[in-house]
Amino acid sequence: MRKPIIAGNWKMNKTPEEAKALVTELKPLVKDANCDVVVCVPAVNFAAVKEAAKGSKIKLGAENVHWAKSGAFTGELSADMLKACGVEYVIIGHSERRQYFGETDKTVNQRVLAAVEAGLKVIMCVGENKEEREAGYTDALVEYQTLIGLNGLTKEQVAKIIIAYEPVWAIGTGLTATDEQANETIGVIRAAVARKYGKGTANKVRIQYGGSMNPKNVKGLMAQPEIDGGLIGGASLKAPDFSQVVNYD
Ligand code: 3PY
């Protein structure tokens, strides 16, 4: 059995003071959660979230990581820096990074390798845009993104990766993939992992759905056999909403 994981992706939202208030409000609401609970936050909020989350189930995540250990990469953060701040999880390859910041499958892979080597838990995002879905390329594209992203990891390392399937057309649009669409494409991702790394490994990989998951649609999505959790955008910015997603069961 794979343990479900619900992770918030705060994106570019919240000051440290607001972060502290949100996590303080969230803490008692998720104390009985049956899933792993993570909040991936802007780096300016690491200290506030870590402090506010003390003694709770809430784990700290980052929204990106650089592949180099250190050096002339203005504005970037290394895996060791994240670790030193108490970060346990990191999102890599979110579609907004691919769309606005030149992220490619190759750089996703570099970041994944560096993060795994440093001992961070990776949430690697894949997903198609509207045109790609309409043209019938969804399966080929998510398979490709997944296998390139994981390239160079051992089976044991792959088993610990979390993949977030986020159809780009469902991000920030209020549109959601139907439960069946999400389940089917996540099944395609798992099958690709199985072909390369074996069924045993693929069955351990947790694959989340992301893209406008919220208190209303979480139950239906989580009832699907392939879906092991969610990466939550807008609904992670308010404690009552996020806690309802976390407590979906
Ligand atoms: C969304 O739900 O909008 C997301 O992008 C989650 O990562």
pLDDT digits (tens, 9 = 90+) for 51-100: 999 999 999 999 999 999 999 999 999 999 999 999 999 999 999 999 99
Complex prediction ipTM: 0.97
List, by residue number, the catalytic residues: 94, 166
Secondary structure of the chain in the HEC alphabet? CCCCEEEEECCCCCCHHHHHHHHHHHHHHCCCCCCEEEEECCHHHHHHHHHHHCCCCEEEEECCCECCCCCCCCCCCEHHHHHHCCCCEEEECCHHHHHHCCCCHHHHHHHHHHHHHHCCEEEEEECCCHHHHHCCCHHHHHHHHHHHHHCCCCHHHHHCCEEEECCHHHCCCCCCCCHHHHHHHHHHHHHHHHHHHCHHHHHHCEEEEECCCCCCCHHHHHCCCCCCEEEECHHHCCHHHHHHHHCCC
Kindly report the pTM of this predicted structure.
Answer: 0.97
9 lines ligand 1 (CB under 6 A): yes
172 lines ligand 1 (CB under 6 A): yes
The percent of residues in the chain predicted with pLDDT above 90, rounded, is: 96
Average pLDDT along the chain: 97
Q: Give the Å distance between the CA of 71 and the centre of ligand 1.
A: 31
Judge whether residue 172 has pLDDT over 90: no
